[in-house]
Amino acid sequence: MKLTRRNFLLSLAGGLVGINLTPLPWKLMDDISIWTQNWPWVPVPERGRFYHEKSVCTLCQGGCGIKIRKVDGVKDDRAVKIEGREDFPVNRGGICPIGAGGLQLLYDESLRFTSPMKRAGLRGSGNFLNISWDEALEILAKRIIDLRQKGSPEKIVAIDGNRKGSTVSLLIERLMKAIGSPNYIRVPDMEDTYSVACILMCGREYPLSFDLENSDYILSFGCGLIDGWLSPGRVISAWSMWHGELKEKVKVVQIDSRASDTASKATEWIAIKPGTETALALGLCHVIVKEGIYDRDFVKRWTFGFEDWIDEKGNIHMGFKNMVLKRYDPEKVSEITGVPASRIVSVAREFAKARAPVAIFGREKGDLPGSTYEYMAILALNALVGSINRPGGILLQDPVPLKSLPEVPLDRIAKEGLKRRRIDRAGEKEAPFTHSLIYRLSEEINRSKRSPVELLLVFSANPSYTLPDGGEFKKALRKIPFIVSFSPFKDETALMSDLILPDHTYLEKMDEVVWPKGIQYPAYLLSKQAVKPVYNTRHCGDVIIELAKRIGLSKAFPWRSFEDVVKYRAKGLYEAKGRVSWNGEPPWKIKRVSSDYRSFDEMWEKLKDGGLWYKPSDVYGKYEFMTPSKRFEFFSQTLMNYKDSLKDMGIKEEGDVAFMPHFEEEDYPEDYPYRMVIYEMINLSSSWIPSPPFVYKTIFDNQLLKDENFADINPKTAKELGIKQGDRILLTSPSGKIKLRANLTHIARPGCVYVALGFGHTGYDEFIKGKGENPNWIVWGKRDPISGYKIWWSVPVKISKA
């Protein structure tokens, strides 16, 4: 017996046959495949018992209750999931895609600033050096002190993207006042346009409040009801209520130039020429007035300027009735809007005869300002059918009863500084009802040789990306000598900054939603620190207080922390006797509730834990207009007081018509024959908050393909231009051009081209930046008359093959 080569091979062969008759190969194969699933970098869910931290989402001002799922015993108190809260009246369990993906905004280190930083490389290069909080605050305090000592505190400008009336925004405004700069500038949204319209027709500003759940006929002027409008959690649960729970049929009529998701799912879709909504609203008014189907009682008792009227001097003025009868007959409106006259008549009749109709405004998500005359026309339409302070209508009510902060003590420098003119000239004759005009700020900087702004502070805003201003702001940033960002994220504006004082992200801090956008009852929501701060960041509110101390303005800030200020303001809530827990009864169905707290401390603890304070609305049937006539003014006497500056405000009309809602045709340059219309998507953030990278998985291939985004074009228009599906095209407006790919679809109106907001970032990380183009960069247009905000909803463009 010799182990020759042959015999060796034979034994191997025997082994091979033998081994296949044992379980070994099969078992090994199974084990190896399981082993590959257990590589340490393969993400697996944490094991252990779940528990939830209840809080409130503050990514937008919709005010959804959220619960953050954590796993017991997992280190660093790591959150693993965000869900909607069922015990919350606003969203009743719902949550939007951005909110559900929010954990990435917390844990994705490449999206965030992890420590205070100062710029190391060229502006915008993204090179920063970590510094300590002490050093960062010292750098900023020194600059502010310097400018104050030089006697030019007005060269310090703050841009604030926080909600108006929120504690952080009050602190920022307060800091600016105490420093002595009048240049506190807000990032505008639809609430600002609504404020102007309300001042003119109702006499003062009111919180945005639509009683949608009690309505049976919703006439939506371009509101993306299921595309993320105002408070997606609330509106989508109302939508499912209209289409399911209720016995009564609720009709949703969507006026939109594009067959958006909302238009496709609405009861009816009215395809309109973009930018002509005002004319349509007035056309509907015409039919309602002509056929006498308006709410005569309301119009008679509570409105002014419906009929022609005579002023104190004996001059006769045209009233709203005659104005719409003369100017807006269905035939003419049909010509302007492209909506058939018969359709205008039938919708007007249905609207006026519905039990509780409401006409609502705020294009797309309601994040951007709108047209003042359009909002006025829609308010007038509601007033005609009596849908003001009536169940199902628009509600005008007092703001959340928070206690006001004490007066700001001013030193000599501050007193002098506050006398200076605002750089944006808001409140002057060109925009007398507007508090701040960010567009004008960039214009002034770009026009001047030397920037009138020495030091720019940016809070919760990314105007470089989000402003539909044709890139004006982005350009202006380059000229500002020193920029400080308080953003937690590496957004486009922050990347242009010289100093970063990073805020916590929303899950790491106490923050508020003062009156969730659009809901019909006063509510105050408080989020909590649901997760311990992951990085070396600090609450912006605390940083402002600390900064004020370093500048020597501690008298204006007698608080130790942000929480102290919130607690101070909450005293007003205690006195108003609301509720801090929800018993499941829809707040829009009940008239009165008993308060569920006895002492302030009890309320405060419950509010901090559950995040909710609310009170049912009590304005139904109550009318307190603050206009000169103490009525709802179809004819705005407030505006008439400014009749000498109509031209400055950008109003073409002269005489009585100018003081009533009316339609003014835009002048577009003739060589730009097409219109670009910007739209928003519920699964993509277009605000200053980045989209969680997860949501890019939900974007279709005809919206974004690799690094190119698409423009929706009607096949008919595409044929005229010789464009085929997927072709690369160039959109050129008078202010610039963007390159996209064409998506041929019948949801687009012929002659228009539709581009989504949310793509085209140059900041953040590899998952977000460099994906497509941002239509904001080529927005070109006049100012909206009266408010002074830029018109972004219809941009003249040329389309060519690239």
Partner 1 sequence: MLLWKKEEVRDLFEAVFFFLAGFFLALIIGWFIFPIALYSEHRQPIDFSHAIHLENVEGDTLEEKCLYCHEFYEDGTFSGIPRNEKCLECHDPESPLGEDPEEKRFLEEYLSKGKEIPWYHYFRQPPCVYFPHIAHVKMAKLSCKTCHGDHGTSDHLPVYQENRISGYSRNIWGKHISGYKKNTWDRMKMDDCAECHRKMGHEENNTCFTCHK
700 binds partner 1 (CB under 8 A): no
Choice between 76 and 644, CB closer to partner 1: 76
Residue 44 C-beta: closest distance to partner 1, Å: 4
Q: Which stretch binds partner 1 (CB under 8 A): 7-15, 162-170, 300-308, 675-683?
A: 7-15
75 binds partner 1 (CB under 8 A): no
11 binds partner 1 (CB under 8 A): yes
Residue 53 C-beta: closest distance to partner 1, Å: 14
Positive or negative: CA dihedral 276, 277, 282, 284: positive
Residue 45 C-beta: closest distance to partner 1, Å: 6
DSSP H stretches of helix in 585-696: 600-610, 637-640
74 binds partner 1 (CB under 8 A): no
697 binds partner 1 (CB under 8 A): no
Residue 51 C-beta: closest distance to partner 1, Å: 9
Choice between 38 and 599, CB closer to partner 1: 38
CA 271 to centroid of chain Cα atoms: 24
39 binds partner 1 (CB under 8 A): no
Beta partners for residue 81, in sequence order: 69
Choice between 31 and 311, CB closer to partner 1: 31
Residue 461 C-beta: closest distance to partner 1, Å: 39
Tokens linked to 233:
């959690």
Burial class (CB in 10 A: 0-12, 13-18, 19+), 794: buried
Smallest CA-to-CA distance from 383 within 195, 626, 623 is with 623
Q: How many residues bind partner 1 (CB under 8 A)?
A: 35
| 573-592 positions binding partner 1, by CB under 8 A | none
Binding partner 1 (rule: CB under 8 A), the pick from 39, 40, 45, 591 is: 45
Counted residue by residue, the chain has a size of 802
16 binds partner 1 (CB under 8 A): yes
Binding partner 1 (rule: CB under 8 A), the pick from 14, 340, 409, 770 is: 14
Choice between 53 and 307, CB closer to partner 1: 53
| 620-639 positions binding partner 1, by CB under 8 A | none
Residue 37 C-beta: closest distance to partner 1, Å: 6
Percent helix / strand / coil, the chain, rounded to 5: 35, 15, 50
E-strand ranges in 415-557 read: 455-459, 482-485, 499-500, 511-514, 523-527
Residue 62 C-beta: closest distance to partner 1, Å: 26
Choice between 29 and 316, CB closer to partner 1: 29
| 460 vs 686: CA distance, rounded Å | 14
How does DSSP assign 55-87, residue by residue? EE--SSTT--EEEEEEETT-GGG-EEEEEE-TT
Q: Please state the φ and ψ torsions of residue 608, each to the nearest 5 degrees.
A: -65, -35
| 54-73 positions binding partner 1, by CB under 8 A | 73
Choice between 32 and 122, CB closer to partner 1: 32
How does DSSP assign 497-528, residue by residue? -SEE-PPPPGGGS-EEEES-TB-SS-EEEEE-
607's CB contacts (< 8 A; 6+ apart) are 524, 526, 570, 573, 580, 613
Choice between 12 and 129, CB closer to partner 1: 12
17-24 CB contacts, 8 Å cutoff, 24+ apart: none
User: Given the DSSP bridges, would you call strands 309-310 and 156-160 parallel, antiparallel or unpaired?
Assistant: unpaired
Smallest CA-to-CA distance from 503 within 186, 172, 755 is with 172
DSSP, collapsed to helix, strand or coil, labels residue 677 as strand
DSSP H stretches of helix in 577-626: 600-610
Choice between 47 and 313, CB closer to partner 1: 47
86 binds partner 1 (CB under 8 A): no
Binding partner 1 (rule: CB under 8 A), the pick from 5, 39, 40, 44 is: 44
Instruction: State the virtual CA torsion across 777, 783, 787, 793 in degrees, nearest 10.
Output: -50
Q: Which stretch binds partner 1 (CB under 8 A): 11-19, 122-130, 186-194, 246-254?
A: 11-19
246 binds partner 1 (CB under 8 A): no
Binding partner 1 (rule: CB under 8 A), the pick from 24, 129, 246, 316 is: 24
| 712-771 positions binding partner 1, by CB under 8 A | none
List residues near partner 1 by CB under 8 A: 1-3, 6-8, 10-19, 21-24, 27-28, 30-32, 34-35, 37-38, 44-45, 47, 49-50, 73
